[in-house]
Amino acid sequence: MKELLLLLNDGVFIGFILLTALHSAITVGYFIHVSRVSRKPWNLKVSNDYEPCVSIIIPAYKEAKVIGRKIENIANLYYPKHRLQVIIVGDPETIDAARKHAQMLNGIKVLLLEEKERLGKANALNYALKFTEGEIIATSDADAIWSPDALKNAVKYFSDPIVAAVTGHEIISNASKNIHTYSEQSYRKTYYIMRLGESKIWSTMIFQGELALYRRSYLKYFESRPGYSDDTGTVIRLIKEGYRCIYIPEAKFADAAPPNLKDKIKLKSRRGQHLVNALTEALKHKIKGMFPLPAYIALANFYMHVLAPIIQLTIPILLVVSLIRSTALVTSILLIAILTISMLDKNIRSLAELYISSSLALTLALIRSMAGTRSVIWEKIESMREI
């Protein structure tokens, strides 16, 4: 009791309480709002039998090991073969491997493009874009596997001319492997409720290149400035131009999550850096009155991906400092006991892993972004390609 009074008199502890309350109010409040909207119907005219020609571009750098599996995956799509074009763009070794599997794509127009020198993913996409013939351009990664009905389900949304881009739903193929992959799967549930709510309101700014479709006549080019991503970077431009860019749950794809903390932080901080830059740009557009997405969506996303990670790291530090300053021994022991016992529960453990890994990765992303480190090429994560 005496300890509690001491704590309540401590400025650092008050800071801890206020920051926690503010952070929870913003994140939980936003989540509750968008999850309500996510259950509303689409305000779109969607025709089930809309079947335009689609060009699928697969950028693949040093992917000889997985490219055969990806080609087989495309061959199995429920979509008329004569309305498909597949373009694989990559280094000569990957293209050679692709050529060996190309007979699986019988009936589909196939183009294999060799990159003489490494261009980076976005530049490779833009190079391939010049050769596309479809009305719809799809992108996928060599290591991502689409569900057979994913393309068919995604394409139909383009029957409404306001739609410029559609992205899909990732299933973590190795979710049961360990806590790092399991926590990624848990996180995806919340993540997709937010993406669906935002899409129903107007658009989501966060896209996934593993399954992304664009209307050719609106697309023009993929964002390729260093520090921006081909998916989210491109979509922000399309939203600015007045079109809708949406996530739909019924276009599923499978991808592995990094199975260790090091690779997870590597992946999330690289993707996070792209997000930090893109979401900052979106907010700037909004401030200038040039962005049709509601201000609270732009602000909430900026908060969650740019500011919240630092706040999430600050919160436990404030708690520990205030406990030490107030020499609250009994409270500290009690807290440690509660924390230890709750760690026995797998879901709480996974929540803790997520809190730590995403706060660290996104803080790192922010530091990199502010330092101006920008690169168009990166090292692939081998642990995500174990078949």
Q: Does 141 bind Mn ion (CB under 5 A)?
A: yes
Nearer to Mn ion, 72 or 133 (CB): 72
Nearer to ligand GDP, 27 or 181 (CB): 181
Pairing of strands 212-215, 145-146: unpaired
Which residue in the set 60, 95, 213, 318 belongs to the binding site for ligand GDP (CB under 6 A)? Answer: 60
309 φ, ψ (degrees, to nearest 5): -55, -40
329 in Cβ contact with 3 (< 8 Å): yes
Binding residues for ligand GDP restricted to 116-135, rule: CB under 6 A: 118-121, 124
Phi-psi region of 327 (alpha: psi -120 to 50; beta: other; left: phi over 0): left
Q: Does 142 bind ligand GDP (CB under 6 A)?
A: yes
273 in Cβ contact with 361 (< 8 Å): no
What number of other Cβ atoms are within 10 A of residue 229's Cβ? 26
Taking the CA atoms of 324, 325, 329 and 334 in sequence, report the sign of the dihedral they define: negative
Distance CA 256, CA 49 (A): 32
Binding residues for ligand GDP restricted to 269-328, rule: CB under 6 A: 271
Which residue in the set 115, 184, 198, 353 belongs to the binding site for ligand GDP (CB under 6 A)? Answer: 115
Q: Strand 163-172's sheet: what is its strand order?
A: 109-114, 84-90, 54-60, 136-139, 212-215, 163-172, 244-255, 145-146
Least gap, CB of 233 to Mn ion (angstroms): 17
Judged by beta carbon distances under 5 to 8 A according to partner kind, the member of ligand GDP, Mn ion, none in contact with residue 142 is ligand GDP
Least gap, CB of 195 to ligand GDP (angstroms): 17
Q: Which stretch binds ligand GDP (CB under 6 A): 16-24, 97-105, 136-144, 307-315?
A: 136-144
Alpha carbon 172 to its chain centroid, in Å, reads 13
Q: Which stretch binds ligand GDP (CB under 6 A): 56-64, 157-165, 167-175, 303-311?
A: 56-64
205 in Cβ contact with 251 (< 8 Å): no
Distance CA 156, CA 154 (A): 6
Nearer to Mn ion, 144 or 213 (CB): 144
Nearest to 279 by CA among 233, 311, 224, 245: 233
203 in Cβ contact with 246 (< 8 Å): yes
Q: Which stretch binds ligand GDP (CB under 6 A): 60-68, 218-226, 291-299, 311-319?
A: 60-68
Count of residues that interact with ligand GDP, criterion CB under 6 A: 20
Kindly write out the interface string for residues 346-385 of this chain, putting x where it contacts ligand GDP by CB under 6 A and - elsewhere: -------------------------------x--xx----
> Which residue is listed with tokens 């658009």?
203
Residues 6+ apart with CB under 8 A from 123: 224, 376
Binding residues for ligand GDP restricted to 229-268, rule: CB under 6 A: 267
Q: Does 170 bind ligand GDP (CB under 6 A)?
A: no
Nearer to ligand GDP, 154 or 267 (CB): 267
Q: Does 63 bind Mn ion (CB under 5 A)?
A: no
Q: Does 353 bind Mn ion (CB under 5 A)?
A: no
Q: For binding to ligand GDP (CB under 6 A), which residues are involved?
A: 59-61, 63, 89-90, 115, 118-121, 124, 141-143, 267, 271, 377, 380-381
Q: Which residues bind Mn ion (CB under 5 A)?
A: 141, 143
